[in-house]
Structure 1
Amino acid sequence: MSCKISKSALINGLILAAVIILLLALPAWAGDPTGTATGSAADIPAAQAGTPTLEELATAAGKLKIGLNFVWTLLAGFLVFFMQAGFALVETGFTRAKNAAHTMAMNLMVFLVGAVGFFVLGFGLMFGGLGAVANLGGTPPLTHELTAGGWGLLGLKGFFLSGDAYDVGVFALFLFQMVFMDTAVTIPTGAMAERVKFSAIVLGSFFIAMFLYPIFGNWVWGGGWLAQLGAKLGLGHGAVDFAGSGVVHSIGGAAGLAGALILGPRLGKYRNGKPAAIPGHDIPMAVLGTIILFFGWFGFNPGSTLSGSDLRIAVVAVNTMMAGAVGGLTSMLYTWWRQGKPDPSMMCNGVLAGLVAITAPSAFVNGPVACLIGAVAGILVVWSVYFFDHILKIDDPVGAISVHLVNGLWGLLAVGLFADGTYGAGWNGVGADSYLGVAGQGVTGLFYGDPGQLVAQLINMAVAFAWGFGASYVFYKVLDKIIGIRVTPEAEEQGLDIPEMGALAYPDFMLTFGDTYSTEAISTGQPAYDKRRREVAVHN
């Protein structure tokens, strides 16, 4: 039996439903559509509900401010964490298809290893003697610093986030700083890609997360000796690095340089002393990764205020945006002029170079100067890639050394030159004095009247390179002697996905190679080629 509804009955039913809905909507039954009645004195905890005292109002206002800072800091940390996806896409896109699973896996693994290492030891070494972080409610447990003659060397509190470090302010600081550490740990994977053992990156990540990064981080951000150059020696505000051009990027880039130098170039990279291009397999993937990194940088730099109530966030965000944009633009135009084509890979590295360079000075400079810093970075990264590739013959598959080490140092220098004194009063305990309500002096560079700040920044740059490269070189050299950090020539020729990971990134495709290495190349690991190597993806 079937039931048919006539067309007229259906129309009448719809009209009736519409009338009913209209009748229900006409009365003003809404609760509080404008929000004017939502949030009142009744929402403030008080001994007598609805009539809070002045002290209770002040307490509620303080909690609201710190709560806003917590939310902003954690949200910024989540944005920085998402940068891991950007790094994975950039590095994988710039390398070959036969190593895609290996490169992606490294970028995931370094976060897992880094988080554990920083939780166990790194955070305590870096921030154990920091003292109060007013924006996060004080963090009172972090007050134990190893010193020598009054100069801070290492933190001694907060390991495993245990004991009285079980504190909401400490936990908020840990999450934000942990994702910064993860950026530093990720950088060497790009410089060492396509010929490094997965196990070497695992051990190297523990080393960076537990020792290399936090020790230098303590010296700059944890109240250590570089931060004290201003208070103790009168050198400006001491070493100033707002969001990590030096602490994060230069240290990670220096570790990548040490690893790439010990590994040596990829097979086939140099023939008769001249570098041969080894194109990445997926430029669109790398471009997408660059856009994700750009997005995440709005957590990286503005988030470093650790305060949703610090209105300087607007300046930091715009400076970050403009330096990244101008860096990519100048890199594109310069490459277009020199080579006749706007190389998309160099455009990506120009964007990242501008973002790295503005990371240290982003809070201390004005908009035009931010554009200048980005423009210099865009040209500098092109020159640097050529210098490492052609002059020093150090093989860096993704340009990580040029982007992060070189432009990280440029960012530190830019603070010493261009900081305009409008922000940073009290930074590292300097310039906080005021008289009759007039704010103290902010961070000021050479061109605005303080040569001492430039001296502090030059010391910061020298120490960042010496520590980052020197300690990493020793570590990777020792590790190479113990386990060997480079894969066999056969594994490198085949691609690292199967030999190292046991899984192909693209199992539906077969990678074939038109040219092979000579017997001498396989036995010695030298790039002796019979003719130019080709890599072709052929569908099964």
Structure 2
Amino acid sequence: MDITFLMNSLWVMFSAILVIFMLGGFILLEAGSTRMKNAGHIAGKTIFTFGLSSLVFWAVGYAFIFGSNGNLFIGLSDFFYSGYDIEGLSLSGSVFFLFQLAFAGISITIALGGFAERAKLSVYVLFTLLFAALVYPVVAHWIWGGGWLAEHGKQDFAGSTVVHLTGAMAALAATILLKPRIGKYNKDGSTNNIYGHNQVYTALGVLILWIGWFGFNAGSTLSVDGGFFGFVALNTNLAAGSGAVAALIISWLVLGKSDVPTILNGALAGLVAITASCAFVDTWAAVVIGFIAGILVFYSARFFEKRKIDDPIFALSVHGTAGVWGTLSTGFFATPQLATVGLPGLFYGGGFEQLGVQALGVATSGAYAFGVSFILLLVCKYILKGLRVTEEEEILGLDVSEHGSFGYPELIFSQKDNKMSS
């Protein structure tokens, strides 16, 4: 067997593992950003929904994206993937399948962030089935599976649009339909901060995601040939660092303090933004892209807050706003040497054509993901007789109301013991 085939397979397998391990980062990030009474629920539903989305991707998701038969809108073959090798692909077909499955799992995890602290577990289950079959694969086919946006030369190397914007638009639909958490907004329109219970968890989650992103972006080269994956990894790291620095600066200037959640969101925003362009831009542009993302995420979070859109883990700003900017950025910064898809960007003499294609991709993919997710959530609401737990269950916490257990049992029972002894 060809050594290149084996090395490519090993590299992409390692990258798939890194991407799947990002779920650990999301568990810590989401749990740390919310209250301890929901921590066990967040951890458990993340694992379960990834397992469920894996089965859906195996049955229909992969076929809808990469099916050899079909049209410019959707693939229509290769259902229930059985492990066969893929013609024209210089690595194991099973490894490629697992790598793509990991991306689908990350997108649904982002989408479910919009449900945090108030949705029924049954809603997570049903919506995961529907999103993994009818939302993510369609957008992925348009851009990565030879669909109509691919025909226009849409640039999205590792998924600022396909993974992040798609997930964020589903999260937006959820936040609108679920409405804010109890106690988030007062009758006079003022806002109460509902603080996450553990910033150390949140920071560790971001670090795990940062490391996992090397699999996400550099792994998308699908090859070790020429070592180009190293350049992609370098751009990824530069953008993340730049985003964190920009977020620190803007929070310090506006708030008078270097806000920790903003810094963490800045790093993630830089990672999301560079995901589309990491293989198409020079290193200096990666720094600029990440820096702008770090500023945008700060103002985006304030924008949604003022409009009473309760987004506990900042999915809309980190994955949505930064995903839009990252997708558009190739229309400015893609170089003639690196733009293996589409055309060079505006700053390299390519004019507005590629920027227009990128904007078209953002508008259509975002609208599809939001619109279909909104409809699917209405279907879930009808079938399950509501999306949200009762007021009593929400106040008690989803650990107890949905699972009958505690994420922090020793703390809960020690508090009860103290009350009894007093």
Q: TM-score range by the shorter chain?
A: over 0.9
**Residue 410 of structure 1 corresponds to which residue in structure 2?**
325
Q: Letter of the 1:91 partner, please give it.
A: E
The percent of aligned pairs where both chains have the same amino acid is 41
TM-score of the pair, normalised by structure 2: 0.94
Please point out which of 244, 248, 272 is paired with 2:159: 244
Distance 1:164 1:171, change over 3 A: closer
Post-superposition Cα deviations, 1:242-266, rounded to whole Å, max 9, x if no partner, equal 0000000000000000011100000
Conserved in 1, the CA contact under 8 Å of 2:84 and 2:93?
no
How far does residue 469 in structure 1 lie from its aligned partner after superposition?
0.5
CA distance in 1, matches of 2:296, 2:344: 24
Equivalent residue runs for 1:112-511 within 5 Å: 112-129=51-68, 144=69, 146-147=70-71, 152-162=72-82, 169-229=92-152, 238-271=153-186, 272-390=188-306, 392-425=307-340, 427=341, 443-450=343-350, 451-483=352-384, 484-510=386-412
Secondary structure of the 2:338 match is coil
Structure 1 or 2, whichever has the larger Rg, is 1
Deviating beyond 3 angstroms after TM superposition, the runs of 4 or more aligned structure 1 residues are: 162-169, 537-540
Higher strand share: 1
User: Which runs of 5 or more residues in structure 2 are unaligned?
Assistant: none
| Deviation (angstroms), 1:204 | 1.1
Judging changes above 3 Å, is the alpha-carbon distance between structure 1 residues 378 and 107 closer, same or farther for their aligned structure 2 residues?
same
| 1:441-470 alpha-carbon deviations (Å, 9 max, x no partner) | xx4111112221111111101012101111
Q: CA separation in 2, counterparts of 1:217 and 1:539?
A: 56
Contact 1:508 1:539 in 2 (8 A): no
Deviation digits for residues 83-140 of structure 1 (CA, Å, limit 9, x no counterpart): 00000000000000111111111211121111011011101100113xxxxxxxxxxx
**Post-superposition offset of 1:164:** 5.6
| Whole-angstrom distance in 2 between the partners of 1:176 and 1:510 | 40
8 Å CA contact 1:349, 1:403 repeated in 2: yes
CA shift in 2, pair 1:538/1:453, >3 Å: farther
Deviation digits for residues 499-536 of structure 1 (CA, Å, limit 9, x no counterpart): 111110011112899xxxxxxxxxxxxxxxxxxxxxxx
SS at match of 2:227: coil
* Structure whose residues are more often helix by fraction: 2
Task: Determine if contact 1:86/1:293 at 8 Å carries over to the other structure.
Answer: yes
Would the aligned equivalents of 2:83 and 2:93 in 1 still touch at CA under 8 Å? no
Residue of structure 2 equivalent to 1:86: 25
Would the alpha carbon gap of residues 511 and 322 (structure 1) be closer, same or farther in structure 2, given more than 3 Å must change?
farther
TM-score calculated relative to the size of structure 1: 0.74
Instruction: Determine helix, strand or coil for the equivalent of 1:460.
Output: helix
Q: How big is the alpha-carbon RMSD for the aligned residues of Structure 1 and Structure 2?
A: 2.0
CA contact 1:509–1:539 (8 Å) conserved in 2 = no
Larger displacement relative to structure 2 (308-317 or 362-371): 308-317
- Alpha carbons 1:328, 1:354 under 8 Å: kept: yes
Count matched residues.
413
Amino acid at match of 2:179: G
Distance 1:355 1:163 in 2: 32
Distance 1:102 1:539 in 2: 27
**1:227-278 deviations in whole A, cap 9, x for unaligned?**
001xxxxxxxx11100000000000000000011100000000012111100
